[in-house]
């Protein structure tokens, strides 16, 4: 087999939540370029439709869209059913829907905590459980859960988001253990500072110097959505066929503080 053939997704069907913008959009474009047909889901239909039209024009792949609130278990079930009805199968689920609300824990209302856990953790469980019988039927399937470095190290100001994303990693590990014998791999990809449209808008609005903040990273820069998409597409492909239950961090390298200056060129 060609060394790169296992990266291909021809004949696969992928369902991507939060698929209209940012990481979801970049992942959808790459998966379509590698041969997958897609169902894109999200709360707002307009970005989904725009992204679907762009991808179809670029790749010629079939791209369906569905407005869905994945924090509702019944809606998640209906979304998966629609994808399978449209394509006849489901091979890949990317649980990408999520966002962090900035609020210190000492003043965080219970409804904000609950909403963050629902969107960033429970929704992935609902979608995965709904997809299970169809992924099992595919014979060789993959779930990729999009977490965050906030779920690895914790980030002040987004405590609920951090806790939910940490829980998402453990959900992936348990799903991988329980569903691996059924031919379903489950992994987590944790982005660091990625320049999504939303992130760049927030940086501009708050005057945040993202590049300066990256100078503690070994690679000295933030990441692009296309770089994150490459990691997701890889972990969903047959090139990663013996990888499950793992956490792949895409964050520009380990951010360690040393005792001496090692920059001796």
CB atoms near residue 30 (< 10 Å): 21
Which of the residues 126, 132, 161, 222 is marked catalytic? 161
In angstroms, the CA 145 to CA 58 distance is: 26
Kindly provide the b/e burial profile for residues 58-85, where b requires at least 16 CB atoms within 10 angstroms of the residue's own CB: ebebbbbbbebbbbeeebbeebbebbbe
By the 8 A CB rule, do 143 and 93 touch? yes
Asked if 161 is an active-site residue, the reply is yes
In angstroms, the CA 171 to CA 152 distance is: 14
In angstroms, the CA 251 to CA 194 distance is: 8
In angstroms, the CA 162 to CA 233 distance is: 24
Spatial CA neighbour of 149 closest among 220, 63, 247, 238: 247
In angstroms, the CA 197 to CA 177 distance is: 35
Could you list the active site residues? 161
């Amino acid at each position: 087999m060609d060394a790169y053939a296992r990266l291909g997704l021809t004949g696969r069907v992928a369902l991507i939540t939060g698929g209209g913008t940012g990481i979801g959009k970049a992942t959808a474009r790459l998966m379509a370029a590698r041969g997958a047909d897609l169902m894109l889901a999200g709360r707002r239909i307009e970005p989904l439709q725009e992204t679907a039209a762009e991808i179809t024009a670029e790749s010629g792949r079939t791209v369906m869209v569905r407005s869905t609130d994945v924090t509702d278990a019944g809606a998640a079930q209906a979304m998966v059913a629609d994808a399978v009805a449209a394509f006849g199968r489901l091979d890949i689920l990317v649980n990408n829907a999520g966002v962090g609300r900035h609020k210190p824990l000492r003043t965080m209302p219970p409804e904000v905590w609950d909403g963050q856990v629902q969107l960033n953790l429970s929704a992935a469980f609902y979608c995965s459980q709904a997809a299970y019988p169809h992924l099992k039927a595919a014979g060789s399937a993959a779930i990729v859960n999009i977490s965050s470095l906030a779920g690895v190290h914790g980030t002040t100001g987004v405590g609920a988001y951090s806790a939910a994303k940490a829980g998402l990693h453990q959900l992936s590990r348990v799903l991988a253990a329980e569903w691996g014998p059924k031919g379903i791999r489950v992994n987590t990809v944790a982005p660091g500072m990625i320049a999504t449209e939303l992130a760049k808008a927030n940086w501009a609005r708050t005057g945040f110097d993202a590049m300066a903040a990256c100078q503690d990273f070994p690679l000295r820069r933030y990441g692009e959505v296309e770089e994150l998409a490459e990691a997701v597409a890889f972990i969903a492909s047959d090139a990663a066929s013996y990888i499950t239950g793992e956490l792949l961090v895409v964050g520009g390298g380990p951010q360690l503080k040393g005792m001496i200056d090692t920059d001796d060129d």
